[in-house]
A and B are shown apart, each in its own frame.
Chain A
Amino acid sequence: MVRDNTTSESDDDMIKIPSSEIPPELVYHDRRRFLRSFGVLTAGALALGACGSLPGAAAPPPTVLPGATDGATDELGDPLNSFEQITNYNNFYEFTTEKQGVAALAQGLRTAPWNLEVGGLVRNPRTFAIEDLLTQYDQEERIYRLRCVEAWSMVIPWQGFPLHKLLAVVEPTAEARYLRFETLYDPEQMPGQRSSWFSWPYVEGLRLDEAMHDLTLLSTGLYGRTLLPQNGAPIRLVVPWKYGFKSIKSIVKIDLVAEMPTSLWMAAAPNEYGFYANVNPDVAHPRWTQATERRIGEYSRRPTLPFNGYAEQVAELYADLDLRVNY
């Protein structure tokens, strides 16, 4: 394993401004971009007042106004979804199966103190406090498409850091081949976990090489703000070339393991959900077409891209796999 030198790099970056002086919501990697966002802030506020956004959408008063990144697009030129859309339409069965109901129910989630335990087949098992993860790792902005297996999608400006940076610190051993992620289990705070339809806690998994891929992100925020509970606060996975359910939320534990872990969805419906869950328009799901999708905010459907448009970066990971069998 390569020693992690990125941590010190980011420390250098941060030295000029003591991190305590920056509200966590405003930690943008790219300062120029950050300043630019301030420029459109007023315009954004006016536009927001004019169109009224989504009535009834219970977003708390934003620190950075939604729309601060307005005009930004993903690398394919598609505009970002709005802050309202991203924070009011969530699949997070720990709270409710109603996508529009998650935001309200999740408000009370205690995200501090929060520890992320990383262990299993590693040389340096460690427990990270969330504030350490926020300060030790440079928080980059990544604009990714999120494709839900239910055939809807969004474009989201995440902040976070690539998972490989964390893995470099804990140093997986030679036997480690997979990662097993676990969401918080706390039925008091997460009423959906009282439902016995699922084997809680939520578990997801990645192959080690998928986890090491630079696109694989541990996200701590979006739209320049700390993550809201409905989006998986305080820390979640984002694997943009896989269906959304792979991007596990509110992670408390990551274990490096030798055997392929069984995810919650694999256990719930093995005929519908495989381990890989790569976005694939050619492999149908019994309930939702995977050939097309609805981009939230758009009227007509658009074709779904292989690997959600990231084929160039990730297809080689699966060169030896029959993706029809390994769905």
Chain B
Amino acid sequence: MSTPLTAQQTPATRRRERWPLLVHTAALLPLLVAIADLLLGRLTVNPIQDLTHRSGYTALVLLVASLACTPISMVFGFKRVLTLRRPLGLYGFGYALVHMLIFVVVDFGLDITLIWQEVAEKRYILAGMAALLLLIPLAITSTSGWQRRLGRRWRLVHRLVYLAVPLAVIHYIWLVKADIREPLLYAALVILLLLLRLGPLRRAITTWRRRLSS
């Protein structure tokens, strides 16, 4: 995780700052585009459904991107990318939260009976809800303060993401009507990103990279 910035900034640390800036811009772009499309009436004639799809898709992309940071740093020895895990994960959670709120508040108008019926009836909603619930403790403990307080246990807690993202992908696979090529692509990507974290593979990659650089 990124260390809090101190008063004495070197040119190198200032360069480091640009990275999160890029992430902030990229992550906020879908929101800005959605607002623009809302104002211009470009959200199809079924705007609620369109917003639901957009927010869910963006959440998934950001969460997978967050999951990709560690393997990228491993394979390419690109340490700075690790600082992006937190903002990417938090933005992903933010979009997932908006996604759920659109469903609960806008689409179903807080009608608890109807919502309960939906959640109980549809396995894809259960998967999505589970993914979001798992992300909540991660978002809360994402601050440096919580990281310090939890110490070793922090990493353990944050491994929940290895469960949450696959659940989000399952949510996506189950909701698509027929052509599940794209959801399966995400599934393959997530499986790869998780496999790369496994001990033996991880060590093999690190040794291989050391040999390359020496």
Contact = CB atoms under 8 A, between A and B. Distances in A.
Interface in B167-186: 174-175, 177-179, 181
Interface in B83-133: 107-109, 111, 114, 117-118, 121-124
B122 A55 contact: no
Given A286-B122, A286-B123, A289-B114, A268 B178 contact: yes
B40 A56 contact: yes
B124 A287 contact: yes
Given A197-B179, A301-B108, A301-B109, A296 B46 contact: yes
Contacts of A56: 40-42
Interface stretch (A81-89, A128-136, A316-324): A81-89
Nearest to B50: A100
B44 interface: yes
Contacts of A152: 46, 49
Interface string A266-280: 001100000000000
Contacts of A300: 109
Given A97-B179, A289-B121, A54 B46 contact: no
Interface in B19-49: 40-42, 44-46, 48-49
B11 to A, nearest CB: 46
A297 interface: yes
B45 A287 contact: no
Contact of B41 (A54, A100, A301): A54
B163 to A, nearest CB: 23
Nearest to A292: B114
Given A269-B178, A286-B123, A296 B41 contact: no
Which size bracket describes the interface of B in this complex?
Answer: 20 to 34
A114 interface: no
A interface secondary structure, majority: loop
A99 interface: yes
A89 B45 contact: yes
Nearest to B43: A100
A300 B114 CA distance: 12
A269 B168 CA distance: 22
A89 B175 contact: no
Nearest to B111: A301
A89 B114 contact: no
Nearest to A84: B45
Contacts of B179: 97, 195, 197
Interface in A106-150: none
A54 B45 contact: yes
A269 B44 CA distance: 27
A287 B117 contact: no
A40 B45 CA distance: 24
Contact of B45 (A269, A284, A297): A297
Contact of B114 (A54, A88, A297, A301): A301
B108 A89 contact: no
A296 B45 contact: yes
Interface in B53-77: none
A301 B175 CA distance: 20
Contacts of B124: 286-287
A291 interface: yes
Contacts of B48: 294
A296 B43 CA distance: 12
Given A284-B121, A286-B121, A297-B45, 13 more contacts: A52-B41, A54-B45, A56-B41, A85-B45, A93-B178, A97-B177, A99-B44, A152-B46, A152-B49, A197-B179, A289-B122, A291-B117, A294-B48
